[in-house]
Chain A
Amino acid sequence: MILQALTSYYNRTAQGGGDIAAPGFQKQQIPFLIVLTREGRFLDLQDTRSPEGKKKVGRTFIVPKAIKKTSGIAANLFWDTPAYVLGRPKPDQNDAPEKAEKQRRAFLDRMKEIFPNPNANVAVSAIFGFLEGNDFQTLLNHPSWKEIEEKGLVLGFKLDTDNCLVCERQDIVNALAGTKPSTKGNGICLVDGEVDVPVRLHTAIKGVWGAQTSGANIVSFNLKAFTSFNKKQGLNAPVGQRAEFAYTTALNNLLQKGSRQRLQVGDASTVFWAEKKHVMEDVFADIFGEPVKDNPVQDYKSLVAVFRAPETGSRPELEPNTRFFVLGLAPNAARIAVRFWYDGTVKEVAAHIYQHFEDCSIVHGPNQPETLSLFRMLVSTALQGKSENIQPNLAGDFMRSILAGTPYPQTLLAAAIRRLRAEHEVTYPRVALIKAVLVRESKYYNKDHREVDMALDKTNGNIGYRLGRLFAALEKIQEEANPGINATIRDRFYGAASSTPVAAFSRLMKLKNHHISKLDNRGRAVNLERVVGEIVDGIDEFPTYLSLGDQGRFAVGYYHQRQEFFTKKDEQQL
């Protein structure tokens, strides 16, 4: 399914004249170009890099497809590292110069293989003239050369009269397209079911966050234990040349830097695409990503509503029954694992996203964003709020349940509550997350009891929720009794109060009496006593412990009650 969908995405993009490499080619960053005259004389070394953050990044060109390099020697066509192009290895490598010389020969041989008669083509003859002339002194004296050699930066060739690389010249592209290997198919491709040549080693997938920068594989059999039926490497899963090229190119294109169709969800690099061109591809990342800085109020509702409304069926670019795919990838050693895979229609996805935001929405301060990005919510469950501390599987499971409209993982609730108890910080993202888990669960399993709401619900009789409110009220009393206090009861008792209430609250209620008696404003004291009385009304005794769900409700109750105090204060000031 995954490979099939990627293959048809490639075909769609290639036929639509999209920005994607043709068979036999690939996109590649080439930081430096050797500029030659038509006679093969060295003119200049051109730096194509532009600063991007702290690093400099070379321009991307479309070049003949890279050869999969292992420890052996294999040269790319018309582009490669200094060791291959000029026989100059990285200085820190203790490889003998003989290896570099072999690499240099391999580079020339590869070109000769495709162009047996170099003089027939002006660009090829220029390159041969230069490389076989062996007079590299002007090049080696170039100020940039030292850096190229040290870092082993990739080099390409360009003629001074052209404004494209040699390998992008139309005559070369045509010549290469004509030299397709004519091996007859000897196996069936499991992606399209046609007879084709099964590929032994698949092209590496680059751009998966946390994987090796040189790329990792989805389809690979890099240990003997993964093979069966006496098959070697790719023959274990016969994928034909056409399909292999299409799916790897499509995936690399989706994952590349600056792609509008990728999203980082925890440790899972997520890409998404539609069966045919669809606006959803453009807005999906915005819906889940961080809100744009100059437009903090992301109007996700109207954004998503467009895709849900049935009448938009008349506009072809909004066709709600278009299939939509979401693929989450995470690295594992030299391989890529599929964290989640979703396949549904745009309409379903939109409905589920809408539901997700609905479930997460909760009352919040005026300066806080209306909707929380996935990142903000996930990070609130992580130690020190660092994204690398998000539990590995959590993000993928979260994303999957959003897209499929299923209950959120219980581990999410547990993680959020654990962070709450450890940090005593009942923050907006955390509570939104807890509320969402509780609401979604009771909705999904059709539980008839009343679940927590957007804002304070005084009629909610759940013991966890009520105790949360009570705890907020007690803290408020303490704060008013000791203005400017540094550590409140929350810092000392939150964990105990939310898990073993009987132990904590009997003490807290006694403390409350002390605090109340310290209040100078008697009217305020009576008022607060009334609030506490209202909350505990009907609670006969404090329970010995609270379940995980009730601990969640405790947090929500606490948060709601606290928000209530804040808004009250605002109104009084007005």
Chain B
Amino acid sequence: MDGPVRKSKTILLKVWGDYACFTRPEMKVERVSYDVMTPSAARGLLEAILWKPAIQWHVEQIDVLKPIRWESVRRNEVGAQMSSRTNGLFIEDQRQQRAGLFLREVAYAIHAHFTMTDRAGPEDNVIKFEEMFVRRAEKGQCFHRPYLGCREFSAHFKLVLPDEQALEPMSETRELGWMLFDMIHDNKADRGHVHSCTEWCRPSFFKAVMENGRINLRDIEVRS
């Protein structure tokens, strides 16, 4: 990309909901959630409010505002994958009862900024998208309903303005082990706008540490 990286100021978004499930990859069949929100889930939340090809979100820090509480729920899921060539599948025939260990009553504060990508046009600039995000978030607008890990656990969100009182995270410090950071996708095989995953698409992980309820993602080592 030409010129310096065009980076927005840090935006603070509070999100909360009754349930959340940031599914661990190793236990994604009988789901077990990570203890806290993963960076990629936070990114997804921001993208639900505003995403354009011209911008890319970066999560800087996640604050955990409520104690970690668990709940085990059995629910219906679907046990089949639909082929793109069929007219559909009859879900009642593919029902599966699966157990899940979910989080209850969560609230997080997401600190994030975005950078401009090389798909930004001449009319795009940082200020434009910053203001767009603020307008949209304040009005509660979103492209799709933001969610906490799984689509069915919808999230409420509220933009925290710089002059507003800072949100106090819970006071707990502990190591959370290796956690999914994000998926790294291989775009070489893409046709047009359609991405199909190859064996080169791989997950990346980082060592998550919660310090006084804050998970700092600024200078972390991400392995993939």
Chain A positions near chain B (C-beta within 8 angstroms): 1-4, 187-188, 190-193, 218-231, 235-239, 330, 332-333, 335-341, 392-393, 396-397, 400, 404, 406
Contacts and interface: CB of A to CB of B under 8 A. Distances in A.
Interface stretch (B43-51, B52-60, B69-77, B147-155): B69-77
Contact of A224 (B25, B80, B196, B224): B80
Interface string B167-181: 000000000111010
Given A223-B80, A229-B197, A336-B30, A237 B99 contact: no
A221 B178 contact: no
A238 B203 contact: yes
B178 A340 contact: no
A339 B183 contact: no
B74 A229 contact: no
Interface in B202-224: 202-205, 207, 223-224
A239 B204 CA distance: 13
Nearest to A268: B72
A229 B98 contact: no
A336 B207 CA distance: 26
Main secondary structure of the interface of B (DSSP, over half): strand
Contacts of B96: 333
B35 interface: yes
Given A218-B27, A406-B69, A224 B99 contact: no
Given A335-B29, A392-B74, A193 B207 contact: yes
B195 to A, nearest CB: 10
A231 B184 CA distance: 13
B202 A187 contact: yes
Given A3-B26, A219-B27, A226-B29, A330 B223 contact: no
B72 A190 contact: no
30 contacts: A4-B177, A190-B25, A190-B26, A192-B178, A218-B26, A218-B27, A220-B29, A222-B29, A223-B79, A224-B81, A225-B80, A228-B197, A229-B183, A229-B197, A230-B196, A230-B198, A236-B28, A237-B27, A330-B99, A333-B96, A335-B30, A337-B98, A337-B99, A338-B99, A338-B101, A339-B99, A339-B101, A340-B101, A393-B74, A400-B72
A2 B223 contact: no
Contacts of A188: 203-205, 223-224
A84 B24 CA distance: 39
A237 B201 contact: no
B205 A190 contact: yes
A336 B80 CA distance: 19
B188 to A, nearest CB: 13
A332 B98 contact: yes
Contacts of A337: 30, 98-99
A237 B197 contact: no
Given A190-B205, A193-B178, A223-B80, A341 B27 contact: no
A236 B24 CA distance: 10
9 tightest A-B contacts by CB? A337-B99, A337-B30, A230-B197, A237-B25, A237-B26, A229-B197, A4-B177, A224-B81, A219-B26
B78 interface: yes
B141 interface: no
Contacts of A229: 183, 197, 201, 203
Interface of B: 24-30, 32, 35, 69-70, 72, 74, 78-81, 94, 96-99, 101, 176-178, 180, 183, 196-199, 201-205, 207, 223-224
Contacts of A231: 197, 199
The residue among A4, A187, A190, A221 with the most chain B CB atoms within 10 A of its own CB is A190
Given A236-B28, A335-B29, A337-B30, A1 B177 contact: yes
Nearest to A333: B96
B67 to A, nearest CB: 10
A192 B175 CA distance: 13
A332 B30 contact: yes
Contacts of B78: 225
Contacts of B223: 188, 193
Given A190-B25, A190-B178, A192-B178, A341 B205 contact: no
A513 B101 CA distance: 56
A339 B80 contact: no
B181 to A, nearest CB: 11
Contacts of B201: 229-230
A218 B96 CA distance: 17
Given A191-B177, A193-B178, A226-B29, 19 more contacts: A4-B178, A188-B204, A190-B180, A193-B205, A219-B27, A223-B80, A226-B28, A227-B81, A229-B197, A230-B196, A230-B197, A237-B25, A332-B99, A335-B29, A335-B30, A337-B98, A339-B101, A340-B70, A341-B101
A340 B72 contact: yes
Nearest to B179: A190
B19 to A, nearest CB: 15
B83 to A, nearest CB: 10
Nearest to B221: A193
B90 to A, nearest CB: 14
Contacts of B27: 2, 218-219, 237, 338
A225 B26 contact: no
B182 to A, nearest CB: 12
Given A1-B176, A332-B98, A225 B30 contact: no
B113 to A, nearest CB: 26
B30 A338 contact: yes
The residue among A231, A236, A337, A341 with the most chain B CB atoms within 10 A of its own CB is A337
A418 B178 CA distance: 45
Contacts of A338: 27, 30, 32, 99, 101
Nearest to B197: A230
B80 A2 contact: no
Nearest to A232: B199
Contacts of B32: 2, 338, 341
B79 A1 contact: no
A233 to B, nearest CB: 12
A521 B208 CA distance: 77
B33 to A, nearest CB: 10
Nearest to B97: A332
Nearest to B71: A397
A393 B79 contact: no
The residue among B25, B35, B97 with the most chain A CB atoms within 10 A of its own CB is B25
B186 to A, nearest CB: 10
A340 B94 CA distance: 27
Contacts of A3: 26
The residue among B29, B78, B98 with the most chain A CB atoms within 10 A of its own CB is B29
